[in-house]
């Protein structure tokens, strides 16, 4: 029996697809809890029907080392299939099985399996398989713990001290087993970072210049929330007597994004449909990993706030871009269905000049969608011509607060 703390929001989303003829694909950064989530799904299935035949494969376990390619996978599944029972198939870290897509395609076509698989790469289902299975698979992304989940896992009350621990150490679930001390946690996070870099980026993409990849990760950590382009990075490197083309830089950024270490966020024109091809922002999937790379520094608190707000909005299912309005910038334009929300993030509204800037940028937007300023201030600025001010911790708790 696997012990876990249930992640209720995710199970609520996937329950509608249990026992349906559609492949459920669970993706996310390494160590965000995908394996435990698969076990949570297994328990939900057995609650419905405790006679279901569960076939479970985890490529990180030694006992499955002989499943190398799709032929081995098909053979294992067929050997464990019981014709008289319904069968649910779980394959954890499926990208470690060569040509796994051939087996998935065949098994899905048979219609005898309720299939779930997980992986740590954004291109898990791409190319031919995505085309063939169009409309026959659905993807669920698992994120590091939200702030409320962090409190639940750590058995902490919502307080300034608890919030500071979240800002510093992030939301990887295993932290509940560690003492929340910088030396202990950062040693663990640095090892996770190295594993992601070496296994999910270097090995998968056959990268030779590992030193540059590490330097690039540090550069992104230093510039979290700043506008960056591959050309800008390439030009900076040339000034340091390092000659790497912007195409190579772009490829490496894509590799880091595909491993879910970082998230790329494009800029879009407010009031139009234009998506700018140059200048993006990058945020870490887990803020603790970012801090383990360059350290946790109080002068970076505004960047850290912006990062965790981005992660929260992404977890809520919003499509997010950076807003550009003439020479002004809106931190986040968030779209979901027919809903749109504009969000500005700042550390504190320290004086009237800051208040005028943060609220003033939003006032330039001439539509009626909700507009919000987030900060750590305990006091609330009175509604500023229809623009709301919300404490960042309140925002991270209540999903409905962005609508009300």
Per-domain boundaries in the chain: 8-141, 147-402
CA angle 151/153/154 to nearest 5° reads 65
**Alpha carbons 168 and 226: distance in angstroms, whole number:** 20
pLDDT of residue 401: 46
Cβ 322 vs Cβ 266: under 8 Å: yes
- What pLDDT does 2 receive? 81
Judge if pTM exceeds 0.75.
Answer: yes
Q: Cβ distance 34 to 142 under 8 Å? A: yes
- For position 271, what pLDDT does the model report? 75
pLDDT along the chain (404 residues), means of 10: 89 95 94 97 96 97 97 98 97 93 91 95 75 82 97 97 98 97 98 96 94 93 93 82 86 95 93 74 98 96 98 95 90 93 95 89 92 91 81 85 49
Query: Domain 8-141 class?
Result: alpha beta
Q: What is the pLDDT of residue 236?
A: 78
């Amino acid at each position: 029996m696997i012990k876990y703390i249930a992640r209720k929001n995710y199970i609520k989303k996937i329950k509608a697809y249990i026992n349906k003829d559609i492949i459920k694909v669970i993706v996310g950064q390494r160590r965000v809890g995908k394996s435990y989530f698969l076990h949570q799904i297994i328990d939900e299935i057995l609650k419905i029907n405790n006679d279901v035949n569960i076939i479970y494969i985890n490529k990180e376990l030694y006992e499955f080392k002989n499943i190398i390619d799709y032929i081995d996978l098909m053979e294992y599944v067929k050997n464990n299939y019981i014709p008289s029972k319904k069968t649910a198939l779980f394959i954890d870290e499926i990208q470690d099985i060569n040509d796994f897509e051939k087996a998935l395609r065949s098994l899905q076509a048979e219609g005898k399996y309720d299939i779930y698989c997980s992986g740590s790469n954004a291109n898990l289902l791409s190319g031919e398989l995505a085309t063939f299975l169009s409309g026959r698979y659905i993807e669920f992304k698992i994120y590091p713990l939200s702030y409320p989940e962090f409190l639940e896992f750590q058995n902490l009350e919502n307080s300034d001290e608890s919030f500071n621990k979240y800002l510093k150490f992030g939301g990887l679930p295993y932290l509940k087993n560690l003492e929340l001390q910088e030396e202990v946690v950062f040693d663990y996070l640095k090892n996770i970072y190295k594993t992601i870099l070496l296994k999910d980026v270097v090995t998968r993409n056959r990268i030779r210049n590992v030193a540059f990849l590490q330097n690039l990760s540090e550069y992104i950590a230093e510039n979290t929330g700043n506008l960056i382009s591959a050309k800008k990075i390439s030009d900076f490197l040339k000034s340091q007597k390092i000659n790497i083309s912007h195409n190579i830089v772009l490829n490496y950024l894509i590799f880091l994004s595909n491993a879910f270490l970082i998230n790329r966020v494009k800029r879009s024109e407010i009031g139009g449909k234009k998506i700018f091809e140059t200048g993006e922002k990058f945020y870490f999937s887990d803020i603790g990993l970012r801090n383990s790379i360059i350290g946790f520094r109080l002068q970076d608190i505004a960047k850290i706030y912006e990062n965790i707000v981005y992660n929260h909005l992404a977890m809520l299912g919003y499509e997010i871009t950076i807003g550009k309005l003439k020479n002004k910038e809106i931190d986040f334009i968030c779209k979901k269905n027919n809903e749109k929300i504009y969000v500005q993030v700042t550390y504190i509204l320290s004086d009237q000049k800051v208040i005028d800037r943060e609220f003033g940028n939003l006032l330039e937007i001439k539509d009626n969608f909700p507009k919000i300023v987030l900060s750590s201030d305990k006091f609330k600025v009175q509604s500023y011509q229809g623009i709301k001010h919300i404490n960042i911790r309140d925002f991270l708790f209540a999903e409905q607060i962005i609508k009300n």
